[in-house]
Amino acid sequence: MARAYMTEAGTGGTGPGRRGSRLRHVSDALRDGRGIWRRGMVLAAVAVVLALVLVLHARIPNTIGNLGSLTETFLPWLGVLIPLLLVLALVRRSATALVALVLPVVAWLNLFGGLLGDKTGSGGDLAVATHNVNADNPDPSGTARDVAASGADVLALEELNASAVPVYERALASTYKYHSVQGTVGLWSKYPLSRIAAVDIKLGWTRAMRATVATPQGPVAVYVAHMPSVRVKLAAGFTARERDTSADALGEAIADEKLDRVILLGDLNGTMNDRSLKAVTSQMRSTQGAAGSGFGFSWPASFPMARIDQIMVKGVEPMSSWTLPRTGSDHLPIAARVKVTTS
């Protein structure tokens, strides 16, 4: 009888062996429940730091290698870390990491969620485009034809090589009756140009200009600018002093503009998030942010990672904004339609 009892208890009966097994299962479940909150503390800390960088990016100092501007240039790409952290949190079965991940998700959506939708609209009475054509462009004639095919009424080109200027002039002559080249930037227009002048952006040579375009809806001041290049160097960090000085000078020129309707076309070598461009960005609107679809990255053309080419407006209503197909340049051309008549 004793032997039979032992066999019954060991094979799933109601004896003490079965009760002990249940207690072990309950104990293991409790430990695992506590563990999902204890595991992944490092992942949770990384998520919190990521959220802080997104929220407080403007407070990252520029005193060391312009670290703040470097971070702001590629700020949208910090969002790539979010799905990575999500996968790691699931693998670790960490509830703490999953909860902490809500913070960077909310911060990123607050900054860039508005760019995820399509804000392009119809209409507009003026089409504009801008393109850094690259001084070493192997096919300037083809590039000129490509950007002219965008249908732009006003076209700005930057980084014009002196030897290539006649090529661009010939290629664009049939589409644009009026044009002016100042230094390494140029403006082509279907409408008359006046009050054409170089704009001093503190470089010692001309990389910016201004002209009044006599559109059918009235005069518009159009600025073309090519800010100095920035470099990321291991020892010096994000070297952008010349770019920042030029941005301040351009901002002053635009602030002194007499016309109410202003359009800025050019390669600013910086994004709208970069605080060092605030002299310009604080007084103008980006057409991509107001009427574009997505981020509109324009550089490098082979794998666009940042929108450093800009179309910005003041006193003019953006209707749509988009990037154009790749040319022989290392930048993508960008275009926009705007409404000059705001009444």
Residues 6+ apart with CB under 8 A from 53: 60, 71, 78
Residues 6+ apart with CB under 8 A from 76: 111, 112, 115, 295
Strand order in the sheet with 185-189: 178-182, 185-189, 154-158, 126-132, 334-339, 317-323
**Which tokens hold the place of 243?**
């770019």
Domains of the chain listed by start with CATH number: 39-115 (no CATH), 126-339 (3.60.10.10)
Strands 262-267 and 218-226: parallel
* Mean pLDDT for the stretch of residues 100-120: 95
In this predicted structure, the answer to whether residue 340 has a pLDDT above a threshold of 80 is yes
Q: What is the pLDDT of residues 28-41, one digit of tens each?
A: 544 555 678 888 89
Task: Choose the weakest-confidence range: 16-30, 145-159, 188-202, 295-309.
Answer: 16-30
Higher pLDDT, 342 or 112: 112
Mean pLDDT across the chain, nearest whole number?
A: 90
Report cis status (omega within 30 of 0) of the bond before 333: no
Q: What spatial distance separates the first Cα and last Cα of the chain, rounded to whole Å?
A: 102
d(CA 285, CA 288): 9
CA angle 227/273/278 to nearest 5° reads 60
pTM of the model: 0.86
Burial level of 38, CB count in 10 A (0-12/13-18/19+)?
exposed
Residues 6+ apart with CB under 8 A from 149: none
In this predicted structure, the answer to whether residue 25 has a pLDDT above a threshold of 70 is no
Q: What is the pLDDT of residues 177-199, one digit of tens each?
A: 999 999 999 999 999 999 999 99
Half-sphere exposure in the Cβ direction for 233 (13 Å, CA): 9
Q: What is the pLDDT of residues 198-249, one digit of tens each?
A: 999 999 999 999 999 999 999 999 999 999 988 766 555 567 789 999 999 9
